[in-house]
Copies of this chain bind each other. A is one copy, B any other.
């Protein structure tokens, strides 16, 4: 019985630490503000929330609250939950294992025409360019919140990371295209 909900458990705790919420709003929250570095599906969220309650890390207030639809369940974090979250925060973060399919395709580039790879890079540049703009949008939004005395430094830092990473990816792809084209011209 090695209860392992992986990281989802702590994500739920982190979300509930901000304010009591339903599984549904947690999902929306993650989609909106976390999607560039984290994602959770309902298939994870609902069972995990139930486990939190079973472990005493959260409580589910209002079993069925008739508002709209089927009724919603609001979860709140307990003191034990805050302790669990804070313990986890102290642990050294795991080294992330990346799986960039585009790098795989680039590395196998010899097995196709250069145009194929150049095409992928073009799309990649466009996507990352848009992401940089999105992240800068978030940065501004947080800046405005700060002026209204709302503390959101840590959230802003994740957006800043997005700016850095997506800019780097875009710049790399631009450079990569140049190098491939140069190589083709040399032939």
Q: Which residues of A contact B (CB under 8 A)?
A: 7, 10-11, 14, 17, 34, 36-39, 82, 85-86, 89-90, 92-112, 116-117, 120, 123-124, 127, 151, 153-158, 160-161, 164-165, 167-169, 171-172, 175-176, 179-180, 183
Q: Would A85 and B101 count as touching, CB distance under 8 A?
A: no
Q: Would B89 and A96 count as touching, CB distance under 8 A?
A: no
Q: Would A96 and B93 count as touching, CB distance under 8 A?
A: no
The 6 closest A-B pairs by CB, nearest first: A168-B168, A109-B154, A164-B172, A14-B108, A93-B101, A37-B103
Chain B residues with Cβ below 8 Å from A153 are 109, 179-180, 183
Q: CA–CA, A94 to B86, complex, Å?
A: 35
Q: Would B167 and A37 count as touching, CB distance under 8 A?
A: no
Main DSSP-derived SS at the A contact region: helix
Q: Would A111 and B95 count as touching, CB distance under 8 A?
A: no
Minimum CB distance partner of A85 in chain B:
B111
With known contacts A165-B172, A169-B164, A100–B108 Cβ distance under 8 A = no
Chain B residues with Cβ below 8 Å from A176 are 157, 160-161
Minimum CB distance partner of A90 in chain B:
B116
Q: CA–CA, A164 to B169, complex, Å?
A: 7
Partner of A106, one of B100, B154, B165: B154
Chain B residues with Cβ below 8 Å from A34 are 107
Partner of A112, one of B11, B90, B99, B111: B90
Between A and B, 19 residue pairs with Cβ closer than 8 Å are A10-B108, A14-B107, A14-B108, A17-B108, A34-B107, A37-B100, A37-B103, A38-B100, A94-B101, A96-B100, A103-B161, A106-B161, A107-B154, A107-B157, A109-B157, A157-B176, A161-B172, A161-B176, A165-B172
